[in-house]
A = this chain, B = another copy of it.
Amino acid sequence: MNIKNKKLLNLVKKIFIKHKLSTKHAEISARALINAEIVGAYGHGLSRLKMYCDRIKKKVINPKPKIRIKKISQSISHIDANNSIGFVAADIAIKKAIQNAKKTGIGLVAVKNSGHYGLSGYYAEQAVNKNLVTMIYTNAPPAIAPHGARKSLFGTNPICFGTPSGLKAPYILDTSISMINRGKIRFASKNNQKLPIGVALDKFGQPTTDANKALKGVQLPIAGFRGSGLAWMVDILSGVLTGSNHAGKVKDPFEDFSGPQNIGHLFITFKTNLFVKDYNNRIKDNIKKVKRLPKVKGTKEIMYPGQNKYKRYKINFKKEIKISKIIKKELEILKK
């Protein structure tokens, strides 16, 4: 890592410690934020730091959580995160899911009383690096209107699927069910950028390209009824099943300090060699076949999910993270 980025990492860590996180939890959280910056997922990066600190101050994130891991079986665990910062809950959960899968072939770990944990793909990478397939679901504050409704209820509710690829970049699909990520709208709002047409409605149900209006309005789901059904599935898997908030009850972390978010997550992991001996060769072959297809005009390379992010990571890892004036100011205030 670039020396200046290391300094930045340490600064973020210090800020978290100043806000009463343990050294270990501060390290986990700072790394997740810096990683988001490096892969270019700015909506999950430093733009959220002040929010986390505010939530700790207002006692809706617990900086000293007593996280309980309940063993349901050798494969299945239930984690009560005790309103910890989401990064810590997710880090413990994916490690438990990896452990369970290594032991029994499959792991299923549910988390309740958690918060926003950043990028699902970040945790998927951990499982994939241990040669496991993983599926990860989390719910989020209301942002998308169910098909047929004019009020938002589902979060952007990402579907995440990761697997070893047999190639350098792991296959990590981490796709929101929204036409646009809420983090990207927030980033556009912070930086006075316009949104594309057709991704959001304002609070009156009218199309808008104004990020501030979109934040108060409704994001559109991908693929109509289908995308709406997938977002609903994620709310069921991560909210209803795990014992967390659901059906629109997850609070917006930036706007609602009336209580903890109680977000839920679900982590599924399994071994790649359960049914075949040569999984890594099989998937490498699969990906190569797709990449060799004739391309549409203007496409240089057919990319698989995760490939672009991996490239960005490799390039940006040695570069200095650029920080906007607003965030610089926030860091100055937070470290005092």
Which chain A residues have a beta carbon within 8 Å of chain B's beta carbons?
A: 72-73, 75-76, 78, 104-106, 108, 110, 112, 133, 145-151, 153, 159, 161, 163, 171, 173, 175, 205, 222-223, 225-227, 229-230, 232-233, 235-237, 239-243, 246-248, 268, 270, 272, 274-276, 279, 282-283, 285-286, 289-290, 293-296, 299, 301-305
Contacts and interface: CB of A to CB of B under 8 A. Distances in A.
Nearest to A165: B236
8 contacts: A72-B275, A75-B75, A106-B108, A147-B302, A148-B299, A150-B295, A229-B305, A240-B286
A158 B46 CA distance: 37
B133 A105 contact: no
Contact of A290 (B146, B239, B243): B146
Contact of A149 (B146, B151, B279, B293): B293
B110 A293 contact: no
Contacts of A153: 289-290, 293
A151 B302 CA distance: 12
A216 to B, nearest CB: 16
Nearest to A273: B241
The 9 closest A-B pairs by CB, nearest first: A222-B223, A149-B293, A247-B289, A148-B299, A229-B305, A247-B286, A173-B229, A148-B302, A175-B226
Contact of A223 (B223, B241, B296, B301): B223
A123 B244 CA distance: 28
Nearest to A297: B150
A171 B229 CA distance: 10
A149 B229 contact: no
B236 A226 contact: no
A133 B234 CA distance: 13
A128 B297 CA distance: 45
A98 to B, nearest CB: 16
B246 A293 contact: no
B290 A232 contact: yes
A286 B239 contact: yes
Nearest to A283: B240
Contacts of A299: 148-149
A247 B286 CA distance: 5
Contacts of A247: 285-286, 289-290
A285 B222 CA distance: 25
A166 to B, nearest CB: 10
Nearest to A104: B73
Nearest to A72: B274
A288 to B, nearest CB: 8
A155 to B, nearest CB: 13
A133 B227 contact: no
Contacts of A270: 108
Given A76-B274, A232-B290, 14 more contacts: A72-B274, A73-B104, A75-B104, A75-B105, A78-B275, A110-B274, A112-B275, A146-B293, A150-B295, A222-B226, A222-B227, A223-B223, A235-B286, A241-B272
